[in-house]
Structure 1
Amino acid sequence: MSKPHRPHRSPFADATVPELPNPLPDAIPGEPLPPADFTAEREGLLERSLWIGLIGILLLLAALFADGSVGAASAAPATTAAKHDDGFFPPTADLARALAQARKDGKHGVAVLYEMNGCSDCARLRATSFKDAGLRRDYQRDFVVASVMADEPTALRDFDGKPTNQAEFAHAQRVYALPTVVFYDLDGIPVARQVGNTLALADWLRLGRYVREAGYEEAPFSAWKPAARKGS
């Protein structure tokens, strides 16, 4: 008997994905409106504050150039992507192609690591759990893995083949903390995510199995228990 077609999932059905805050109302019901010149006065104060802040920044930059600090900063270490381009979660410019590759190779979807230049937690994740040979084997067997730089306006094709850039795509996916790993199914729909680098290696392995076995159809990852393997 064929498995019934799964209805289209909301991209943000996962309760762990934060909702965007609602904008504040212009006025509170029952409260008196501010004076007519209140907005103009407030905007004038804001403009003066911005000019003062800009002058302060310019003075600080002048001081940095004077003592050579800027020159020292230019010798900073290479970016996260450059330092860790070792084949595991490699940079991508085409998620549509990654998804097509996952379908062609019979994988379970695409796993995307969202990271950022200068992100120490991102570098730490790559240097610890993501160095494990077993985890690499399992993830590369089950998923097409790719990295998106959440701070860069680098050109990117999304899962639908539409042009965007990496920073805009990360924002659209509600990636607000780094590193974040999001697993997408073969329809390009996010089905699981993990934020941060504190997850134990065993749990990273279990997370891969959770997606591989479609555990997200049964329970949140935190409550999911994998079925016993045959012969175990």
Structure 2
Amino acid sequence: MTPVVYLRIIFMLLMLCVLSVSASTPRDPYQHFFQQSLGDFTEELEIAREEGKKGIFVFFEMDECPFCHRMKNTVLNQSDVQDSFNQIFHSLTVDVEGDLEIVDFTGNEITQKQFASRNRVRATPVLAFYDLEGNQVVRYTGATSGSEEFMWLAEYVAEEIYRLKDDNGRKISFTRYKRAKQKQKLPN
């Protein structure tokens, strides 16, 4: 091989290294996960519909919440989670103690704190999923165990598993869905 070929190979290997490092580098969830909102959730619904999203995800949080920080620092900051999730959902954040005025999904002007109260948020984080009409369809209280469980939750909502019933006529809960996903991972 000629020196030019060696240089090309070295260059390509370096580029692969750079790309693999940047793909796994944590990114700020406020820049790469949550959409910038002007606080009009009726408008956010419209945007989600126009972009072909499955629904709206609202992350109810509080500044002093260690579990909220854990979610943001271990799950919501992962580039693969951000990229996958944002293809499916329009993501927003709500400060449960916030006095910032918003327009809720029904067009009412209220504070973030009131919106959280109306959604019965008493502990944080709450991961709430709304359909494109503004109806809450799935709610998960607490931090997920990691990125994999969070993406299972997204899959559970996006594929509308929450609407399905088992052979006994009971709705399939996220807990049951998660158990089934964990069993699929076990070696035979």
Q: How many residues align?
A: 145
Of the structure 1 ranges 85-94 and 163-172, higher mean CA displacement relative to structure 2 is found in 85-94
Q: What TM-score do the two structures reach when normalised by structure 1?
A: 0.58
Which residue, out of 72, 77, 89, partners 1:143? 89
Instruction: Name the CA distance, whole Å, in 2 between partners of 1:91 and 1:171.
Output: 22
Q: Does residue 1:175 correspond to 2:128, yes or no?
A: no
The answer for unaligned runs of 5 or more in structure 1 is 1-82
Instruction: Name the CA distance, whole Å, in 1 between partners of 2:29 and 2:159.
Output: 29
Equivalent residues of 2:144, 2:150 under 8 A apart: no
Question: Identity of paired residues, percent?
Answer: 30
- Structure with higher Rg: it is 1
| 3-state SS, counterpart of residue 145 of structure 1 | strand
Q: Does residue 1:187 correspond to 2:140, yes or no?
A: no
Moved over 6 A (4+): none
Instruction: Name the CA distance, whole Å, in 1 between partners of 2:151 and 2:144.
Output: 13
Matching residue of 2:33: 88
RMSD across aligned positions (CA): 1.9
**AA in 2 matched with 1:113:** F
Instruction: Name the CA distance, whole Å, in 2 between partners of 1:164 and 1:157.
Output: 6
Equivalent residues of 1:156, 1:166 under 8 A apart: yes
Deviation by residue 1:87-125 (Cα, 9 ceiling, x = unmatched): 322463121111111111111000000011222221121
**Cα distance, 1:200 vs structure 2:** 2.6
Deviation by residue 1:13-68 (Cα, 9 ceiling, x = unmatched): xxxxxxxxxxxxxxxxxxxxxxxxxxxxxxxxxxxxxxxxxxxxxxxxxxxxxxxx
Equivalent residues of 1:91, 1:147 under 8 A apart: no
The answer for unaligned runs of 5 or more in structure 2 is 1-27, 165-171
Instruction: Name the CA distance, whole Å, in 2 between partners of 1:169 and 1:100.
Output: 19
**Cα distance, 1:150 vs structure 2:** 0.6
Equivalent residues of 2:29, 2:77 under 8 A apart: no
Matching residue of 1:102: 48
Q: Per the alignment, do residues 84 and 102 of structure 1 end up closer, same or farther by CA in structure 2, a change over 3 Å counting?
A: closer
Q: Per the alignment, do residues 103 and 210 of structure 1 end up closer, same or farther by CA in structure 2, a change over 3 Å counting?
A: same
Which residue, out of 137, 158, 176, partners 1:223? 176
| 3-state SS, counterpart of residue 57 of structure 2 | strand
Matching residue of 1:8: none
Matching residue of 1:9: none
Q: Per the alignment, do residues 132 and 84 of structure 1 end up closer, same or farther by CA in structure 2, a change over 3 Å counting?
A: closer
**Cα distance, 1:198 vs structure 2:** 4.0
Task: Map 1:38-57 onto structure 2 (within 5 A).
Answer: none
| 3-state SS, counterpart of residue 111 of structure 1 | strand
Q: What TM-score do the two structures reach when normalised by structure 2?
A: 0.71
**AA in 1 matched with 2:175:** S
Q: Per the alignment, do residues 84 and 195 of structure 1 end up closer, same or farther by CA in structure 2, a change over 3 Å counting?
A: same
**Cα distance, 1:84 vs structure 2:** 5.7
More helix by share: 2
